[in-house]
Amino acid sequence: MNSVLTPRPLVASAGEAGSGGSVGASGPVIELDKVTRRFTSPEGKVIQALRDFSMAVRPGEFCAVVGPTGCGKSTTLGLIAGLARPSAGSVRIDGNPVVGVDPRIGFVFQQDAVFPWHNVLDNVSAGPVFRGASRNEAVEAAREWVRRVGLAGFEAHYPHQLSGGMRKRVALAQTFINRPDILLMDEPFSALDVQTRSLMQDELLQLWSSHRAAVVFVTHDIDEAITLADRVFVLTRGPATVKTVYEIDLARPRVVSEARYAPRFIELSRQIWSDLRDEVTI
């Protein structure tokens, strides 16, 4: 290996990542313990997405997950969200096994998942309405969140009348209005252009800093992962397992457009990329 870029001891092995060693006194809020996830195709063929996958996320911690395409990153989120069950191993939230969709969870999808038949206000108030709040209360809260994501004046617009970035803001408001303690994000900004993406990353960091949810942020963009996260999990190619965990010791609050020029950032980026390269090249 290049002598200048020798990996620092902050690189932990896959086995340690899920164990209690790296976890603070309060205990992990999300815990995946030797999880395996298999899919059975309609023809009965079995595809393995995750194998002996272990990770733990502390309360209020921002974790990013990077890995080669199709390695099973999204599968991980589905398991934590309770949309799917592990084939083996266990997924726990606050120490309790996940049996369904937990109300403390928020999920931001890669594709547009805002309801096209609702206007902005109705989209944002959907969560509270689904959870039994009165319409007035929900709309009141939604107005506040629409304002906070910078969409005041667009309350009556339908999603197709908004730009991709604005739709993402709607999705963020829709998720944050439920005040999730656990925030799962599946390549949420990958469809946006570069400028909009860095604006949205800033926006996300700001929203996150006010409520400090535990975040699992799946991305294929190493720079995005370093910019946002406290820890970056690098996965192997599928069936995925945790290869290395990096502590991102960049100071907060971070400004997205500037953070990427810090020497430490570049060093981390180079390390993670060289780590990931072995998995990508086949």
Partner 1 sequence: MKQANSLALDEEIAQIERASVRAIRARWRLVYALRVGVLVVTLGGWELCGRTGVIDPFFFSMPSQIAHQLWVWMNEGTSQGSLWVQVLVTLEETTLGFLIGSIMGIVCGIALGRNRLLADVFSIYIKIANSVPRVVLGSIFIIALGLGMASKVALAVVMVFFVVFGNAFQGVREADGNLIANAKILGASSRRITYSVVLPSALTWILASLHVSFGFALVGAVVGEFLGSRQGIGLLIATAQGAFNAAGVFAAMIVLAVVALLAEFLLTQLENRLLKWRPVQFSELAH
Binding footprint of partner 1 on the chain (CB under 8 A): 81, 83, 101, 103, 105-107, 109, 111-119, 126-127, 130-131, 158-161, 174-175, 178
Comparison of 183 and 248: residue with beta carbon closer to partner 1: 183
CA distance 265 to 63: 16
CA angle 151/137/157 to nearest 5° reads: 30
Comparison of 127 and 238: residue with beta carbon closer to partner 1: 127
Least distance CB 173 / partner 1 (angstroms): 12
What's the DSSP call for residue 37? E
Least distance CB 136 / partner 1 (angstroms): 18
Q: Which amino acid is at 57?
A: V
**By CB neighbour count within 10 A (0-12 exposed, 13-18 middle, 19+ buried), where does 129 fall?**
middle
Comparison of 35 and 183: residue with beta carbon closer to partner 1: 183
Least distance CB 131 / partner 1 (angstroms): 4
Encoded tokens for 194: 């570069």
Comparison of 22 and 110: residue with beta carbon closer to partner 1: 110
Strands (E), 61-202: 62-66, 88-93, 96-97, 105-108, 182-186
CA distance 122 to 195: 28
Comparison of 97 and 103: residue with beta carbon closer to partner 1: 103
Least distance CB 224 / partner 1 (angstroms): 21
Comparison of 12 and 83: residue with beta carbon closer to partner 1: 83
SS3 (DSSP) at 247 = strand
Least distance CB 280 / partner 1 (angstroms): 27
Least distance CB 109 / partner 1 (angstroms): 5
Q: Provide the CA 183 distance to its chain's centre, in angstroms.
A: 7
Strands 30-40 and 46-57: antiparallel
